[in-house]
Amino acid sequence: MPAAPSFTPASWPVRTLRKVRDTVDTMASSSPSRLFLTALFLVIAVFTALLSLPVATAKHVVTPFYDALFTATSAVTVTGLTTVNSGEHWSQFGLVVIMVAMFVGGLGVVTLASILALAVSRRLGLRGKLLTQQAMAADDDGRLGEVGTLLRIIITTTTTIQLALAVLLIPAFYVADHTLGEAFFHGSFYAISSFNNGGFVSHPDGLAGFESNPFIVVPIMIGVFVGSLGFPVLMVLLTLRHKFRKWSLHAKLTIGVSLILTVVGAVVLGGLEWNNQATMGHLSVWDKILHSFFASVNTRSGGFSLVDQNELHPATMLITDALMFAGGGSVSTAGGIKVTTIAVLFLAMAAEARGDSDIRTFGRRIPDGTMRVALSVVVLGATLVALGAALLLWISEESLDRVLFETISAFATCGLSVGLSAELPPAGKYVLVALMFAGRVGTITLAAALSARQRETRYHFPEERPIIG
């Protein structure tokens, strides 16, 4: 008879590690999308546990589970919404945990899952590599074995940019605070928070004390804008910066639409708030212009604010809702439905108005499948926002404008807030947690999955047009 398997205590860790490795290996090969979600779940769970420790708070007390989960989810999904005052509630250890969570979350759910699969099972699987390349907008040249190299380039590039931002911010905070240790900490914190579009602040009063300091406001604004472009665009800028004709269509659309939204947003937001004494009316002309561009850039995902969002004009809040929903670039630290989605939809409308059967721009034709994916992303986003807003209206009985603002900010992982997150009961906070999670992975996973599943059909049904409009 064969010997019975040994279950000695010493073998348990080995057996557990093997089981984890086999599970990850199976998921990477057969269900990479589920691996992506699992990786994000695990990361959020780890940071929730760390923020639940008494040492993570300034008063060394245990943070309620829903507040710890909310903060961990907000940091990992690089949203920036908070239920507590970050600068007052969390200790320096807690702020470091949040800072690390933003850095890790800024890498993206696909990157995290790919790293997990490669670290545990040393293989990603064919479907996993295809989805990873699709989600990262890597060149479709058949080099599936280079996913590991691509991940290393992403981590190296993003880390270098954040270090450069820290080098700019640390001296500025030293001049403002006159304390080297505090300057180093705050400079590093805001460098990571800005590039990753995290929106978290390490000062109790946020950036209000530095609203007229361009040496702090401008680097943070630049960090948010650069982070919102996305890694594929950054690589194009680094390698082909003087060769516009060789830029990818994705890079041209992302940069073009981002610049248009930034300028138009600054003009509209600045114009609406120019004479509002509660926001920008008391500032000089230069500071008003600076505030306008800062608001325009951060409204689309950064989440930093120099004014109280509750004091905004109703029209400004509506425009802010639209810009938050739009978001930033694909495969970036920004949220929303992404600027390339908006570009494809408007190009399709323009083609339809001209009577063209093809969607064309920059000498390229956009496939019909891309249009279907863009529509799916918009419908998914609108549906999640509508459901989330309805639940929060039912739970909180707050006004629609405040609820819609907070709901879109959570889904778009923006982080701008009218203070509703802190006022909600635990049930409402869990709704926002679900929205932040769905907003971070929903559009990415949907777009990657739909693109990977596109196939040619061998037959067509008879054509019949329904009445539209």
**pLDDT tens digits along 287-301:** 999 999 999 999 988
Residues with Cβ < 8 Å from 78, sequence gap 6 or more? 102, 105, 106, 196, 197, 198, 199, 333, 335, 413, 440
- The C-alpha angle with vertex 40 and arms to 155 and 447, in degrees rounded to 5, equals 80
Query: What are the two backbone dihedrals, phi and then psi, of residue 364, each rounded to the nearest 5 degrees?
Result: -130, 150
What are the tens digits of pLDDT across the range 32-75? 556 667 778 888 999 999 999 999 999 999 999 999 999 999 99
Percent of all residues in the chain with a pLDDT value above 70, rounded to a whole number: 77
Residue of higher predicted confidence among 19 and 351: 351
Which residue is associated with the tokens 């932040």?
A: 436
Q: What pLDDT score does 10 carry?
A: 46
Query: What are the two backbone dihedrals, phi and then psi, of residue 121, each rounded to the nearest 5 degrees?
Result: -110, -5
pLDDT-wise least confident of 92-96, 146-150, 248-252:
146-150
DSSP assignment of 402-436 equals HHHHHHHHHHTT-----SHHHHS-HHHHHHHHHHH
Cα–Cα distance for residue pair 388/382, rounded to 1 Å: 10
Which residue is associated with the tokens 């300034």?
A: 58
Helices (H), 178-333: 180-195, 214-229, 231-240, 249-273, 285-297, 314-326
Cα–Cα distance for residue pair 463/22, rounded to 1 Å: 48
Query: With 50 as the cut, is the pLDDT of residue 24 above it?
Result: no
Q: What pLDDT score does 330 carry?
A: 81
pLDDT-wise least confident of 117-121, 275-279, 367-371, 427-431:
117-121
Query: With 80 as the cut, is the pLDDT of residue 326 above it?
Result: yes
Averaged pLDDT for residues 314-330: 92
Q: What pLDDT score does 42 carry?
A: 85
Q: What pLDDT score does 447 carry?
A: 54
pLDDT band at residue 193 under the 50/70/90 scheme: very high
Write out the H or E segment, with its range, that includes residue 66: helix 65-76
pLDDT band at residue 234 under the 50/70/90 scheme: confident
Amino acid at 58: A
Contact between 231 and 332 (Cβ < 8 Å): yes
Averaged pLDDT for residues 366-392: 89
Nearest to 55 by CA among 68, 66, 43, 45: 68
Query: With 80 as the cut, is the pLDDT of residue 119 above it?
Result: no
Q: Residue 282's CB: how many other CB atoms inside 10 A?
A: 11
Q: What pLDDT score does 150 carry?
A: 65
Query: With 80 as the cut, is the pLDDT of residue 115 above it?
Result: no
The DSSP call for residue 462 is P
Q: Indicate the SS3 state at residue 360.
A: strand
Query: What are the beta bridge partners of residue 359?
Result: 366
User: Measured between alpha carbons, how far apart are the two ends of the chain, in Å?
Assistant: 76
pLDDT band at residue 157 under the 50/70/90 scheme: confident
Where are the chain's structural domains? Answer: 14-452
Contact between 91 and 62 (Cβ < 8 Å): no
pTM summary value: 0.85
Cβ-in-10-Å burial (0-12, 13-18, 19+) of 154 comes to: buried
Q: Indicate the SS3 state at residue 353.
A: helix
Cα–Cα distance for residue pair 373/381, rounded to 1 Å: 12
Q: Tell me what the pLDDT averaged over the chain comes to.
A: 82
Query: With 80 as the cut, is the pLDDT of residue 276 above it?
Result: yes
Residue of higher predicted confidence among 211 and 22: 211
Contact between 399 and 292 (Cβ < 8 Å): no
CA 448 from chain centre, in angstroms, equals 16
Q: What pLDDT score does 34 carry?
A: 65
Averaged pLDDT for residues 345-359: 87
Residues with Cβ < 8 Å from 185, sequence gap 6 or more? 92, 95, 202
Percent of all residues in the chain with a pLDDT value above 90, rounded to a whole number: 46
Averaged pLDDT for residues 439-459: 61
Amino acid at 95: L
Contact between 421 and 82 (Cβ < 8 Å): yes
What are the tens digits of pLDDT across the range 404-423? 999 999 999 998 999 899 99
Q: What pLDDT score does 456 carry?
A: 62
